[in-house]
């Protein structure tokens, strides 16, 4: 193997290694963000229940444990229901759009894009997790 071939092989190896590191870093960040969003939602519920019901610290901890245990069940249910929900929402939006003028339709679609961005930001995107 000549020096040029060795250099190309080494360069390819470095590129593949860097691509793997970048993909791992990106995937780790996505998983971390999803977990943070789930914890944030659970914490919000615990705070709301504490405010509404006056939960003590032990009750708060117990509620967190229950929510953590049920997260898998909730995610599974959402994976089943979410596609049907999205189909109904898309059909509803399409029917509403037929009533609108072209200018109104454009504003309606812009609003949908903004709402979708907020859903993504809060971990409730159209795609299933």
Cα 61 to Cα 91: distance, rounded to the nearest angstrom:
42
Cα 76 from Cα 93, distance rounded (Å): 26
Alpha-carbon gap, residue 22 to 28, rounded angstroms = 10
**Torsion from C-alpha of 111, 35, 82, 88, nearest 10 degrees:** -10
Mean pLDDT, residues 31-56 taken together: 79
Residue with tokens 């593949």: 16
Is the model's pLDDT at 31 over the cut of 70?
A: no
Q: What is the mean pLDDT of residues 98-120?
A: 91
With a cut of 70, say whether residue 33 has pLDDT above it. Answer: no
Total residue count of the chain as it appears in this document: 129
Could you report the per-residue pLDDT of 46-89, keeping only the tens digit for each? 999 999 999 999 999 999 999 988 988 988 998 999 999 999 99
How many Å apart are CA 109 and CA 114, to the nearest integer?
Answer: 9
- The position carrying tokens 């509403």 is 96
pLDDT of residue 128: 42
Domain-wise residue ranges, the chain: 3-121
Q: How far is CA 9 from CA 2, 16, 20, in A?
A: 11, 10, 16
> How much is the pLDDT for 30?
60
| Distance separating alpha carbons of residues 80 and 87, to the nearest angstrom | 12
Residue of higher predicted confidence among 112 and 126: 112
């Amino acid at each position: 193997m000549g020096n040029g071939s060795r250099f190309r092989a080494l360069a390819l190896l470095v590129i593949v290694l860097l691509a793997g590191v970048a993909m791992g870093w990106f995937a780790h960040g996505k998983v971390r963000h999803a977990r943070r969003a789930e914890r944030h939602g659970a914490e919000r519920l615990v705070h709301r229940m504490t405010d509404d019901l006056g939960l003590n610290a032990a009750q708060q901890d117990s509620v967190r444990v229950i929510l953590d245990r049920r997260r898998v069940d909730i995610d599974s249910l959402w994976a089943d229901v979410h596609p049907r929900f999205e189909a109904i929402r898309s059909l509803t939006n399409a029917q509403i759009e037929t009533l609108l003028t072209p200018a109104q339709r454009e504003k309606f679609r812009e609003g949908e894009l903004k709402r979708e961005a907020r859903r993504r930001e809060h971990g409730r995107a159209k795609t299933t997790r």
